[in-house]
Amino acid sequence: MHIRAEAEYLPLSGIQHFAFCPRQWALIHLEQLWQENIFTFMGRELHQKTNDPFIVEKRGDKIIARAVPIVSHRLKLYGVADVIEFHISQQGTRIPGRTGRWWPVPVEYKVGRPKPENWDKVQLCAQAMCLEEILGVSLDHGFIFYGKTRKRLAVQLDQSLRRETEKAAGLMHKTFSLGKTPPAELSSKCDRCSLLQLCVPKLSKQRSTKSYIQELIETPDS
């Protein structure tokens, strides 16, 4: 996979961090801070079972590919998709070394449960948009497998989710170009954050993430 102007591209996995908390994303990707907790450890263990690029399974009319490199030059994001399932379909795309046509369906793996917000769905949608750009297809759904429930959640890749994904990617790039870490904001989400001890939201000046995002939107692109 050739990345043009590599410095302008950001890791796709970060879009879930940014959607969850722009400050968490900045602490990881701008300040290069990271701390392990039980949630990140369990997530790493779960992904070890999927992220083996040498495993390609064929199950009847389905091919399962793992740790698939993907990129979007429009979103300027790159990364690795946990699992791509290819289903045989006349409307699908060609796969080198395979006969027939195959329709791709992205499957993202998460350790916990379905979230009340679209944080995980945004990451899946970004993966799907990468696949669309690479393979020349238009996808309408994908799945998120949650380790806690051991079930898949079907996600519709509708226009609303696509706009949310594009907005998050744009704001993430803008934050990166400014090199400015957003202020902390104490909320119930903080208890699950591996960076809680580094972020120290209780000691920060009170300013909402919403106001920071609004400032980013209103800041002209350089």
According to the 3-state scheme, what is the secondary structure of the chain? CCCCCHHHCEECCHHHHHHHCHHHHHHHHCCCCCCCCHHHHHHHHHHHCCCCCCCEEEECCEEEEEEEEEEECCCCEEEEEEEEEEEEEEEEECCCCCCCCEEEEEEEEECCCCCCCCHHHHHHHHHHHHHHHHHCCCCCEEEEEECCCCEEEEEECCHHHHHHHHHHHHHHHHHHHHCCCCCCCCCHHHHHCCCHHHHCHHHCCCCCHHHHHHHHHHCCCC
The CATH fold of domain 6-216: Lambda Exonuclease; Chain A (3.90.320)
0.75 surpassed by pTM = yes
The percentage of residues in the chain with a pLDDT greater than 70, rounded to a whole number, is 75
pLDDT band for 211, please (50, 70, 90 cuts). Answer: low
Tens-place pLDDT, residues 159-200: 999 999 999 999 999 999 999 888 877 777 777 767 656 676
